[in-house]
Structure 1
Amino acid sequence: MTEIIKHLLYADAGSDFNNWVLLVFRVLLAFELFRVHGLKKFRLENGEREHVPNPLHLPDKLNGMMATLADTVAPFLVMIGIGTRLIVLPIIGVTAIGYFVVHRHDNAEVRDVPYMYTLCFLFLLCMGAGTISADHYLYSILTQ
């Protein structure tokens, strides 16, 4: 059990500078996802909310809930660094589906956005949140 906790929570980028850079990267990336895609979930255009594509033919409420979670709640948890390696999974799922399914026939300029989000959040999945995060403090408390 301790090994699972370590793999989920422990992340050290190697130096204080690298950990600060990881914090800035994490916060700016998650904030941009929320600002550009998350706020669309609340904004009404022509009296309607944003249409969320459903290429996997999930139940509409489940599909909308996953997209909303990935674009609104998850970015805030990533910014704080709570459960970072787990919380990026729905974001990666939504952005990868956007890249590989929803925009597969679009030009490179359109496909570029979900591609870059997927790569960046895959990076966070591998690296973790770093030492300047709630994950690091939780790890230090749980392993005392």
Structure 2
Amino acid sequence: MKKAAYHIVASDLKNPFYNLAMLFFRTAVAVQLIAVHGLKKLGIGVENAEAIPNPLGFPSALNDGIAIAANVYLPVLLIFGFLTRLAALPALAVTLTGYFIVHAHDPLSVSDIPYMYSISLLLIVFLGSGRYSADYLLSQKIKRLA
């Protein structure tokens, strides 16, 4: 169990520049998700809250909860680098759904936004948060306990 927890949170890219770049990248993606997509879903900064598409037919409350969590609350975890890989997965699911289902027949000029978010979130899932993160501190603690 400790080994699995370690692999979920461990992420040191072995180079200070790469780790700093990952800090900047995950923060930039998370802030953009919150500012451009999340706040509209809550009705902040707009006259009416954005209608959340439900292409998979989930119950409305579940669909809205997933979308709001993926675009507002979980990106905060990305900023701090806490459980980064796990926090990125719901947003990745939402953006992949947007790309492959909601915008499946749209031109590339429309579907490029969910595509770019999906690629960005995949990079975060694969590389983790880097050394400058809560995950790194947590991984060091797990490592000492093992």
Please tell me the TM-score bracket, short chain as reference: over 0.9
Coordinate RMSD, CA, aligned: 1.2
- Ranges in structure 1 where 5+ consecutive residues have no aligned partner: none
Structural mapping, 1:26-45, within 5 Å: 26-43=26-43
Q: Percent identity?
A: 39
Q: Alpha-carbon deviation of 1:116? A: 0.4
- State the shift of 1:40 in Å: 0.4
One-letter identity of the residue aligned with 1:9: V
- Equivalent pair of 2:38/2:68 in contact (CA under 8 Å): yes
Q: Distance in 2 between matches of 1:139 and 1:38?
A: 29
Q: Which amino acid aligns with 2:7?
A: H
Question: How far off is 1:141 after superposition?
Answer: 1.6
1:97 matched residue in structure 2: 97
The reply to whether residue 51 of structure 1 matches residue 45 of structure 2 is no
Cα deviation, 1:22-66, whole Å, max 9, x if unaligned, reads 1001101110111100110122655x4211000000000000000
Residues in 1 aligned to 2:54 and 2:42: alpha-carbon distance in whole angstroms: 18
Matched, 1:76 2:70: no
Q: Corresponding residue for 1:114? A: 114
CA distance in 2: counterparts of 1:41 and 1:111, whole angstroms: 19
> Which of structure 1's runs of 4+ aligned residues deviate more than 3 A?
none
Q: CA deviation at 1:3?
A: 1.8
Task: Give the TM-score, by structure 1 length.
Answer: 0.95
Give the Cα separation in 2 of the matches to 1:73 and 1:86: 13
Match of 1:130 in 2: 130
TM-score (norm 2): 0.94
Inter-partner Cα distance in structure 2 for 1:64 and 1:30: 19
State the SS of the aligned residue for 1:67. helix
Deviation (angstroms), 1:75: 0.8
Task: Extract unaligned runs of 5+ from structure 2.
Answer: none
